[in-house]
Amino acid sequence: MSVELPFAPVDAVIRRNAGNLRVSGDAAEALALRIQNHGAALAVEAAERATADGRKTLMTEDFDVSSVDRTDVEIPIAPVDRIARLDIDDRYRVSMDARVALASRLEAYADSIAGASAAFARHAGRRTIKPEDIELYFEIKPYC
């Protein structure tokens, strides 16, 4: 599966959580893939809500977000639209506000992972966040 999300904005999200740590390119790629998978799963849930309401358009409320300003989101909207459509039927449409809402949810998700990954790198005595720090988050997440 190709990664739809550009690595640069994901790298920016990691860096704002990294403090003085460096970020490997592979870490941004690993996080982008995790974001993409999570976004596709959220879109499936949103499509189920829309279907239950008799709609074919995913709306902001389907992503459990009230309102988001597009300028507050680092993750670009166009790739988020492609991510939303990865695992849902072509008959669904995704409103622009829903795309922004999904981008906001994905950015918050990425911030959580990036913050924890920075702590893991520091704990390991490294100055660089690596893909294994991203993966460690998912290994221990059920225990948090």
Instruction: Report the CATH number that the domain containing residue 55 is assigned in CATH.
Output: 1.10.20.10
- Rounded to two decimals, the pTM is 0.92
User: Considering the chain, what is the average pLDDT of its residues?
Assistant: 93
| Residue 2 lies inside a defined structural domain of this protein | no
| Rounded-to-integer distance, Cα 104 and Cα 109, Å | 9
What's the total number of domains in the chain? 1
Q: Please report the pLDDT score of residue 66 as a whole number.
A: 81
| Residue 1 lies inside a defined structural domain of this protein | no
Question: Residue 30: is its pLDDT beyond 70?
Answer: yes
pLDDT band of 142, cuts 50, 70, 90: low
| Residue 88 lies inside a defined structural domain of this protein | yes
